[in-house]
């Protein structure tokens, strides 16, 4: 797909549960968004992500795919954009 994701407007964010984690962490994701504004794929950017618990990363990825939406853009190619989730220590 083409695009840099800069022209697409995010219309919803992920609402995540509290995770049992000992230190504040960031999970950096690269999202693939289709013309309907749906996130069709998400992957963790390992070089920037500070969470080491793969189970939490997988849960965050699944919730982001399910919940995050972007403005529709009829006929648009797939675009790639970035999304960061901050997880606070309990």
Q: What is the pLDDT of residues 2-59, one digit of tens each?
A: 554 556 899 999 999 999 999 999 999 999 999 999 999 999 999 999 999 999 999 9
**Which residue in this structure is represented by tokens 């990825």?**
61
CA distance 8 to 23: 32
pLDDT at 90: 82
pLDDT at 60: 97
pLDDT at 64: 98
User: What does pTM read for this prediction?
Assistant: 0.88
3-state SS class at 5: coil
pLDDT at 6: 55
Work out the average pLDDT over 60-67: 98
């Amino acid at each position: 797909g083409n695009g840099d994701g800069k022209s697409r407007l995010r219309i919803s964010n992920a609402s995540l549960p509290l995770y049992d984690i000992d230190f504040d962490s960031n999970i950096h994701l690269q999202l693939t968004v289709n013309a309907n504004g749906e996130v069709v794929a998400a992957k963790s950017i390992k070089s920037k992500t500070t969470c080491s618990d793969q189970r939490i990363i997988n849960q965050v990825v699944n919730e982001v795919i399910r919940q995050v939406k972007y403005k529709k853009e009829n006929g648009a190619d797939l675009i790639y954009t970035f999304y960061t989730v901050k997880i606070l220590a309990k």
